[in-house]
Amino acid sequence: QVQLVESGGGLVQPGGSLRLSCTVTGNIVSINTMGWYRQAPGKQSDVVASTTGGNTNYAASVKGRFAISRDNAKNTVYLQMNSLKPEDTAVYYCNAVGRYGDYTQLTSFSSWGQGTQVTVSS
């Protein structure tokens, strides 16, 4: 069983910063890709940032303001969000793709966190 636990959301003023964390638990063997998505009210979910191996990708709207990083030893991915804008308000979800199990059986997974609310407002 694989679970993703997110933390770090909240209310912040425009121009402020927040740091989101997402830890993957379970019998994790490897994690290939970790990423952050967001969904604003009435809008579809969009990818914010992702990291695979040593490569990172960002949505154009957050490039230069957000930074994704991961601690492989802790199976944790972070999203540092700076210069936040009201349009960044959304529920943020983390996603991880990898394999879990043991030496007898490996199973692929693509799992999601429960979501954390980020509100940017004065």
Task: Identify whether the C-beta of residue 79 lies closer than 8 Å to the C-beta of residue 71.
Answer: no
Any bridge partners for residue 49, and if so which?
Answer: 36, 58
| Digit-coded pLDDT (tens) for 88-98 | 999 999 999 99
| Digit-coded pLDDT (tens) for 72-89 | 999 999 999 999 999 999
Looking at residue 90, its pLDDT comes to: 98
Give 3-state DSSP helix, strand, coil % of the chain, rounded to 5: 5, 65, 30
10 vs 119: CA distance, rounded Å: 6
